[in-house]
Structure 1
Amino acid sequence: MVRSSRGEVSPGMWRREAGTVVRRVPPPAEQMTAPFAIIAGLQIPRVPTEWAPHSHALHELVWVRGGTLTSRVEDRIFTVSEGYGLWMPAGVVHGGRATAGACFHEAFFAPDRAPFAFEEPRAIAMTPLLESLLTYLSRTDLDAAARARAESVVFDVVEPSEHRFALQLPGDPRIDAIAEALLDDPADGRSLEEWAQWLGISDRTVTRAFRHATGLSFAQWRQVLRVHRALALLADGLDVTAVSETLGYAQPSTFIASFRRVMGTTPGAFFDAGGSGGGVRNPVSPVQDS
């Protein structure tokens, strides 16, 4: 758990926005059995919304328009914006948060009727065809034959994205306090040496712990974390200069270069492409120290 500087407790994600509504989901045993192979729906929170940790009896696919969705699954944080969705397998405990005004979509898949199974949370490419099919399946006037035809096409076009929007948290008690502090304030610019001194350990221990736990150096991990946060800030309408200042960069050009290292494209190109720019790379892949 992460406690923000304002004393609010959040499920190990970003600092909670003012006015956030926390919703609780019934346990799987209380959830309805799916009458169809796929159930699609739509929610528009209109206010910052957080879902307490929960799991579903069905596989879940969620995506947003006009905002971002962040989900915490054990020691990973997934941040998805327009153009991508997040597949959550049945039974996986997760918490979630949608930014204010985000148009939130969800679809549920009956495990015994889905011809595939992703055993881990996966980023899904939300192509126009897939979104159109799921919107079609949200109708209540479809006959059984029409629904079956549409569901079969959905099963054909659901594809995991080659890009993973997952931030690996250390899960190491020696350095977890650093991760929590940076989740609360990504702009915290303390150096590796200053963090080590704060914890009373050597900077070599911090370096080795981050590399072993996340596959990244401390500088690389912080860079990825800031880009994850930038996705939400940019989707909320902040311009590059404001995001750069919020995340502690000395100037916008430095932030843009950092974003490009992690995402493979600039912030403007990424969002102009609806979040699916062709050059986007795996945000957990190694990047250059800076």
Structure 2
Amino acid sequence: MVRASRGEMTPGMWRREAGTVMRRAGALPERSGASGASSAVVAEFRVVPAPTEWPPHAHHLHELVWVRGGTLTSRVGDRVFTVFEGHGLWMPAGVVHAGRATGGARFHDAFFAPDRTPIAFGEPKAIEMTPLLTSLLTHLARTDLDEAARLRAESVVFDVIRPSEHQLALRLPGDPRIDAIAEALLDDPADGRSLEDWARELGSSDRTVTRAFRRTTGLSFAQWRQMLRVHRALMLLSDGWDVTSVSESLGYAQPSTFIAAFRRVMGTTPGAFFGATDPVSGRTPEPLSPEIS
């Protein structure tokens, strides 16, 4: 398998792939439909032809973003969220976030007017993109709906939108005693240095490093590294890598060890996780116009 060349490091996320397109957050879609009435929910979708990043930005509307055929990674403060097939990420209005989508992903956006949205998620939240919810939002992407049809669809969206059981967020330490460890592992998740190796390299004690990880992330060093590797595995598997190649890339001695680690975090094997087919079909999105960073 040919692997992407290593490029510039993206702060607090993953190493930027060669050929990554940088895009500014564009204007939000119009909230007026065929009748001219203002909409509570507007949706749009398109194909991201190359790995694409959006620098930190915020919206005055709530945003729900999801992808098919790829992954989206979003940095919000000290957390990194990975959005994968069947799940979306709710971003409250005004929250600053950055994002990265894998090349070839079908990228979907829905924006919700805060004053007309009777649901409240006060923080970024993974959302379960059920076939019904996805179909409704695809329906709302149409520009020819009359006001009555739009209101009916919006009311059902508000009824069925629910948080996902998989709140896959990786909390970054933000502690100068261990930030070097997090940065090195974000740069190379296969780095196999042990807790003792790191403590010795940083001139610290095992206990100090252990306590720092527990206090800042809620996880032990081993758990945090395992979670990070699963985040990275989701991206690679979505890009079409096979399990053996992903296992090698992440530093596992053999695929069975990687599969067991993946199961511990996700509750199923990589093959079963990515074996489900997309139950929802829709229009073929238009590609984004390329921009060179």
1: CA distance between counterparts of 2:240 and 2:6?
24
Q: In structure 2, which of residues 116, 132, 135 is the aligned counterpart of residue 132 of structure 1?
A: 135
Helix, strand or coil for the counterpart of 2:66? Answer: strand
Q: CA deviation at 1:149?
A: 0.6
Which structure 2 segments of 5+ residues have no match?
A: 32-37, 280-293
Helix, strand or coil for the counterpart of 1:36? Answer: coil
Q: Which residue of 2 aligns with 1:20?
A: 20
Distance 1:274 1:89, change over 3 A: farther
Distance 1:32 1:143, change over 3 A: closer
Q: Which residue of 1 aligns with 2:287?
A: none
**Given the two structures, how large is their TM-score scaled by the length of structure 2?**
0.88
Q: CA deviation at 1:273?
A: 3.2
Structure 1 contact 81–275 (Cα < 8 Å) conserved:
no
Distance 1:134 1:127, change over 3 A: same
Q: In structure 1, which of residues 202, 210, 235 is the aligned counterpart of residue 238 of structure 2?
A: 235
Residues 53-132 of structure 1: matches in 2 within 5 Å? 53-132=56-135
Q: In structure 2, which of residues 158, 165, 168 is the aligned counterpart of residue 165 of structure 1?
A: 168
Q: CA deviation at 1:274?
A: 5.5
Counterpart of 1:14, as a letter, is: W
- What is the CA RMSD across the aligned residues, in angstroms? 1.8
Helix, strand or coil for the counterpart of 1:118? Answer: coil
4+ aligned runs moved over 6 Å, structure 1: none
Q: CA deviation at 1:275?
A: 9.5
Q: Which residue of 1 aligns with 2:288?
A: none
Helix, strand or coil for the counterpart of 1:177? Answer: helix
1: CA distance between counterparts of 2:270 and 2:181?
27
Q: CA deviation at 1:198?
A: 1.8
User: C-alpha deviations, 1:251-285, integer Å up to 9, x for none?
Assistant: 00000011111111111111123699xxxxxxxxx
Residues 211-226 of structure 1: matches in 2 within 5 Å? 211-226=214-229
Give the total of aligned pairs. 269
Counterpart of 2:13, as a letter, is: M
Q: Which residue of 1 aligns with 2:260?
A: 257
Structure 2 contact 62–90 (Cα < 8 Å) conserved:
yes
Q: In structure 2, which of residues 139, 149, 156 is the aligned counterpart of residue 146 of structure 1?
A: 149
Q: CA deviation at 1:11?
A: 3.3
Q: Which residue of 2 aligns with 1:279?
A: none
User: C-alpha deviations, 1:165-200, integer Å up to 9, x for none?
Assistant: 101111111101110110110000111111112212
2: CA distance between counterparts of 1:138 and 1:125?
19
**Given the two structures, how large is their TM-score scaled by the length of structure 1?**
0.89
2: CA distance between counterparts of 1:192 and 1:256?
22
1: CA distance between counterparts of 2:57 and 2:277?
29
Structure 2 contact 29–44 (Cα < 8 Å) conserved:
no
User: C-alpha deviations, 1:53-108, integer Å up to 9, x for none?
Assistant: 00001000000000000000011000011010000000000000000100100100
Q: Which residue of 2 aligns with 1:51?
A: 54
Q: CA deviation at 1:162?
A: 2.1
Which structure 1 segments of 5+ residues have no match?
A: 277-290
Distance 1:45 1:274, change over 3 A: same
Q: Which residue of 2 aligns with 1:280?
A: none
Counterpart of 1:15, as a letter, is: R
Counterpart of 1:167, as a letter, is: L
